[in-house]
Structure 1
């Protein structure tokens, strides 16, 4: 890491927070509280519980944990379906020719536009939120999986045929490893999309969760609580992205080493 990047990494966030604190206290804008007030409200709402519960309050158990459960469940379902469908389409030209126009139409429809449809089909609750997350998340996984499986080097496939590998072994030992970098690129994009769709669905059709708590704070003019939800979402995004990058490095270490060698 260069000196400039190191300075930016360690010093820019604190300087940005200090500037935010100074400006908001100077301007005294009603809808832009200083970070110190936001952090205090964040602690009061979700992280002032007993040590035995990892400092989580009753509100955290009622809001944060259900949101995370829906986030991971919807993301996992979308990723499994996206990889399976994408690889199948990538390896079958006639099937992709049949289905691909519908896929491009489906991914062109904004997920938020279908929230009223999901509300009619599933009513308010977890099924509606899961459907929203799955629909919003599946497209980058599916498209990247399809592209990765379609462009596997033909020499790899021919080598598998020469060694008389079964179709299952060619899939698991040749096609999926070769398509893994593309698949992981789609999975990484899907993490942030899952967080976005979780909040959108909770703002529209939920009686619990971080999004619902933010909407409730807005209706009660509890501005620090509303900003506490925004800050919590930003922190969750950073943590989820860092965790995924760690998993990606562990799973694709061979690809990184090969690229460095080349």
Structure 2
């Protein structure tokens, strides 16, 4: 019951904000700020209306939305694989992090959008450049959180695994990484938000397709309805991707004692009620 109540309250707040947005923009009659209803209607015509005016996925879905989303997820996945692998190795090393930490601190401090000209100069305009920029920008939260998670593994688990002579590879895979998963997932969630941002940024220059390119074209043409429709779509994509990752996280961390205790307490409360 409490879960349903929390879900209802969240959507009630969202719908209230939407209604207030509708009322404020309708009253202002400012062409730069269309109403949510106008944005939804225009977005529907952009993405769910075929060339002959019927209902269906438009060409923009296949030429702009899906390729951009695939690049965001692909770059994030590359960063996750590299970040977790390298982070686990550095986290278990006594001295490795001491050598690379100044270098990592330097790269982490660089604003990723400012690196767009650098990646264009190195790789050229295209999907490889976008994937590389997204992966480079996303790797740092995953890497540093993995290092922190691996280093914070309970010493009792480490000593127990060693006393049984567990092979190092199996020990890392079966003991270290599962114990570090909460912090790893925290880094993955943060990096996923960065991936969506860089998905747009990487398409702002020299592109004729993609979400970022359409956003720039709409702004240049003073087509504010299209501009807002693309902005809202970016938010929806980020929200859906985050929901998917949270579902994976909940499933992966169900074994944790704290989560198990919370679940047990909820079941007890329901039974008592």
TMscore range, shorter length: over 0.9
In structure 1, what is the Cα distance between the partners aligned to 2:173 and 2:62? 40
**Runs of 4 or more off by more than 4 Å in structure 1?**
2-7
TM-aligned CA deviation for residue 189 of structure 1: 1.0
In structure 1, what is the Cα distance between the partners aligned to 2:241 and 2:202? 19
Determine whether 1:117 maps to 2:118: yes
CA deviation profile, 1:39-71 (whole Å, cap 9, x unmatched): 111011112249xxx931011111001101101
Give the gaps of 5 or more residues in structure 2.
Answer: 266-273
TM-aligned CA deviation for residue 4 of structure 1: 7.7
In structure 1, what is the Cα distance between the partners aligned to 2:94 and 2:206? 39
Determine whether 1:254 maps to 2:252: no
Partner of 1:62: 63
In structure 2, what is the Cα distance between the partners aligned to 1:70 and 1:3? 35
In structure 2, what is the Cα distance between the partners aligned to 1:194 and 1:101? 24
Is 1:128–1:205's contact at 8 Å kept on the other side of the alignment? Answer: no
In structure 2, what is the Cα distance between the partners aligned to 1:95 and 1:205? 40
Tell me the TM-score normalized by structure 1.
0.93
Tell me the TM-score normalized by structure 2.
0.89
Q: How does 1:1-262 map to 2 (within 5 A)?
A: 1=2, 5=6, 8-49=9-50, 55-255=56-256, 256-258=258-260, 260=262
Secondary structure of the corresponding residue to residue 228 of structure 1: helix
Deviates more, 1:155-164 or 1:2-11: 2-11
Is 1:129–1:205's contact at 8 Å kept on the other side of the alignment? Answer: no
Closer/same/farther in 2, CA of residues 14 and 101 from structure 1, 3 Å limit: same
TM-aligned CA deviation for residue 11 of structure 1: 2.0
Report how many residues are paired: 259
CA deviation profile, 1:97-142 (whole Å, cap 9, x unmatched): 1111111111011111111101111111111111110111111000
TM-aligned CA deviation for residue 2 of structure 1: 7.8
RMSD between superposed Cα atoms in Å: 2.0
Deviates more, 1:141-150 or 1:155-164: 155-164
TM-aligned CA deviation for residue 12 of structure 1: 2.0
In structure 2, what is the Cα distance between the partners aligned to 1:242 and 1:176? 23
Deviates more, 1:33-42 or 1:202-211: 202-211
In structure 1, what is the Cα distance between the partners aligned to 2:161 and 2:17? 54
Is 1:125–1:207's contact at 8 Å kept on the other side of the alignment? Answer: no
TM-aligned CA deviation for residue 25 of structure 1: 1.6
Closer/same/farther in 2, CA of residues 42 and 148 from structure 1, 3 Å limit: same
Closer/same/farther in 2, CA of residues 130 and 6 from structure 1, 3 Å limit: closer
Closer/same/farther in 2, CA of residues 8 and 147 from structure 1, 3 Å limit: same
Secondary structure of the corresponding residue to residue 49 of structure 2: coil
TM-aligned CA deviation for residue 205 of structure 1: 4.3
Closer/same/farther in 2, CA of residues 44 and 108 from structure 1, 3 Å limit: same
Partner of 2:269: none
